[in-house]
Amino acid sequence: MIDKTKRSLFKTLSTLLKPKEIKVIRPPYNSNLFKECVECDGICKSVCEESIIEIDKFKIPFLNFKSNGCTFCKECANSCPKGILSLDNTEAINATVKIDLTLCLAWNNTMCFSCKDACHYNSIEFLGLFRPEIKDNCVACGFCYSPCPVNAIEIKAKE
């Protein structure tokens, strides 16, 4: 028989080991009214020049930065037959970008400029040769994500 202390420990461990719910990052120009997407064939995915738009099991588009970032080319919005992605909506990706300081090579005294070199908006500033920081002008385009050799770049949907 397992006593209360052990039960409590197992409950805590199982809570820690459960996968965290990941909030997906939606494409720019979105109205957050994705219920009409179920009637669409994912046209936005097929026209995305960077191939970062994917379609989830509910037929709703989301961004995957594993190989590229968003250029804000407007093709997804121009192709959306339901107006869910529309140029009338803000040209922004509703996400935040952070650098995990414990993983970042530069923050750990190894010269690495992979994220800065990939940033189209000059949104990553280095304090000296080390210590990169994300500036306020970051648009969360995702171009810094895949070049990072240690996966120190975190892009998360805003609450």
**Confidence at 36, pLDDT banded by 50, 70, 90:** confident
Query: DSSP letters along 110-131, please?
Result: ----HHHHH-TT--EEEETTEE
Query: Does domain 95-157 sit in CATH 3.40.50.720?
Result: no
* Domain 95-157 in the same topology as domain 23-93: yes
Question: Around Cβ 120, how many Cβ atoms within 10 Å?
Answer: 13
137, two tokens: 């002008």
Contact (Cβ atoms closer than 8 angstroms) between residue 95 and residue 158: yes
Q: Return the pLDDT at 39.
A: 82
The secondary structure of residue 24, as a DSSP letter, is P
Domain assignments of the chain as residue spans, ordered by start = 23-93, 95-157
Counting residues of the chain whose pLDDT is more than 70, the rounded percentage is 86
Q: What is the pLDDT of residues 67-90, one digit of tens each?
A: 999 999 999 999 999 889 999 888
Q: What is the pLDDT of residues 112-128, one digit of tens each?
A: 999 999 999 999 999 98
Range of lowest pLDDT (21-25, 53-57, 137-141): 21-25
71, two tokens: 């250029």
Q: Return the pLDDT at 28.
A: 94
**156 bridge partner residues:** 96
d(Cα 15, Cα 111) in Å, to the nearest integer?
37
134, two tokens: 């994300």
d(Cα 146, Cα 155) in Å, to the nearest integer?
11
Out of 3.10.20.30, 3.30.1330.20, 3.40.50.150, 3.30.70.20, select the CATH number for domain 23-93.
3.30.70.20
Is the pLDDT at 14 greater than 50, yes or no? no
Torsion region of 61: left, alpha or beta (phi above 0 gives left; psi -120 to 50 gives alpha): beta
